[in-house]
A and B are shown apart, each in its own frame.
Chain A
């Protein structure tokens, strides 16, 4: 047990520079090589959850053949328990647009898109206002980079990058086969950088602070800070910017209600960590990664209900394109209900575990592949709750 509080960071939500779009202006006159080197040195990894190194993604897209390239900001924040992109877009949209413009310069794209989930449509008036200012300044700075907002319409799967492109292209949000990856074939099959909202802001902050200063935050494998969405059984729910690489027990000390039984790290597609593992769990790419969702459950909560809720979610949000995910989600849900009702023997849970493992290997995209994360971590750690 630790006495001291986790260090609060004020990078993402810190104040704008005194002069509008100053960091952007300063960065646009630098060489692409310099910018890429800074991002590489900073150790920045994508903030959507998967953690792909940002510098590699940008370099691959910059080097991909073709003149028509795109920057896409993924604001289809649909993971249960995540609400940080909404906060970022509400409080510091200028930083997001600046990060996108820097990306446009580096990869040679003239057009950027912000794909905003339909649930956040209410943010549109303010975002459009800031976009007007952005375009004015862009012109003054001599760049013709232009950003447009695309709206989603209530499909979780569109947060998957290739499904998002399909949606932007007017299709069903069904993920594509990979490879090819977006770096060579993204929006309209053109080379595209697609990053999470927070990743673009991080790039801007690296440009402002320099890689060395930025690197002081976090751990070797997880550089920088992270915006966490804290909810569930906590007296202080909300948005917190903390260093990556923190031990979960310290997080629980500070945010739990004193009776924390489990923490769901990374939303419904993430991992459920039980109390006995708090001490040895690190939140970061070296331990349990998260797009920012931290849902806290105390001992009054039934983990069966939690899992049931997740599985209903996945069953509804599965695009239905591939069989492992479409049928797998249905069967997992039916299966735990049957075990709970006593219609199936408890050993049936092991068969369901095997099913979730098969989904991990055979499902076409991250949705179907990650159902096993929460399924096995809940069933393994709270098996008796699934039965009685």
Chain B
């Protein structure tokens, strides 16, 4: 996988972000081994790769589920019922925020402003945005993903 990404994006330092993003897209997180391998390929120190990877909240460095749910916790989403949305998700997935379901299908996280303030509460499932959330909508969306 890393070989392919390096072939695709090149060995420049500027390729580091796209490569790390590619790893997350492929397997949902970047392992220590991945980082060492990338460092070798790009002729960087492992510390430099680790430094970059751990800086960004979307570059997960611990195992995540197939579907990573990120709920916006910024002020307007919070005002428009974020807490109920999180409660609904926790009940449905039977996990707490920050956790991954035992079947490794879902990870539930909070994140900062997603840019859907006019239609809050909002969340991302992987890269796909959902806005204007209500507990009913959450039921529909998550049920669908459960069967995916």
Query: Is B139 close to A, CB under 8 A?
Result: no
Question: Is A230 positioned at the interface, with any CB of B under 8 Å from its CB?
Answer: yes
> Could you mark each residue 32-58 of chain B with 1 if its beta carbon is under 8 Å from any beta carbon of chain A, else 0?
000000000000000010011001111
- Set of chain A residues within 8 Å of B115, measured between Cβ atoms: 77-78, 82-83, 85-86, 117, 119-120
* CB-based contact A232/B76 at 8 Å: yes
With a cutoff of 8 Å between Cβ atoms, the chain B residues found around residue A168 in the complex are 14, 17
**Inter-chain CB contacts under 8 Å: number:** 127
Interface residue B101 (Cβ < 8 Å from any Cβ of A): no
Residues of A that sit less than 8 Å from B by CB: 77-83, 85-86, 117-122, 150-156, 167-174, 188, 229-233, 237-239, 264, 268, 295, 297, 301, 305-306, 309-310, 312-313, 316-317, 319
Q: Choose one: A155, A188, A309; the contact of B57 (CB below 8 Å).
A: A155
Given A80-B113, A168-B17, is A229 in contact with B56 using a C-beta cutoff of 8 Å? no
- Chain B: residues with Cβ within 8 Å of the partner, total of 37
User: Counting chain A CB atoms within 10 Å of each CB, which of B17, B75, B76, B117 scores highest?
Assistant: B75
Known contacts A79-B113, A119-B115, A295-B117; decide if A310 and B75 are in contact (CB<8 Å): yes
Given contacts A79-B113, A233-B79, list 4 more A-B pairs with CB under 8 A: A80-B75, A153-B21, A153-B58, A309-B74
Partner of A170, one of B14, B74, B113, B124: B14
- Known: A154-B56, A170-B13, A309-B78. Contact between A83 and B116, CB under 8 A? yes
Q: How far is the CB of B110 from chain A (nearest CB, A)?
A: 10
Q: Is the CB of B79 within 8 A of A154?
A: no
A172–B51 Cα distance when bound, in Å, is 7
**Residues of B that sit less than 8 Å from A by CB:** 12-18, 20-21, 48, 51-52, 55-59, 73-76, 78-79, 111-120, 124, 127-129
The 8 closest A-B pairs by CB, nearest first: A170-B16, A154-B58, A153-B56, A231-B117, A237-B118, A154-B57, A153-B58, A172-B55
Residues of B within 8 A of A268 (CB): 74-75
Which of A151, A264, A313 is in CB contact (< 8 Å) with B112?
A313
> A173-B56, A231-B118, A295-B75 are known contacts. Are A151 and B13 too (CB-CB below 8 A)?
no
Chain A residues lying within 8 Å of B128, measured Cβ to Cβ, are 122
A-B contact pairs, 25 of them (CB 8 A): A78-B112, A80-B75, A80-B113, A83-B116, A86-B115, A119-B115, A119-B124, A120-B115, A122-B127, A122-B129, A150-B17, A153-B56, A153-B58, A154-B56, A155-B55, A169-B13, A170-B13, A170-B17, A230-B118, A231-B117, A232-B76, A232-B117, A239-B118, A301-B79, A316-B112
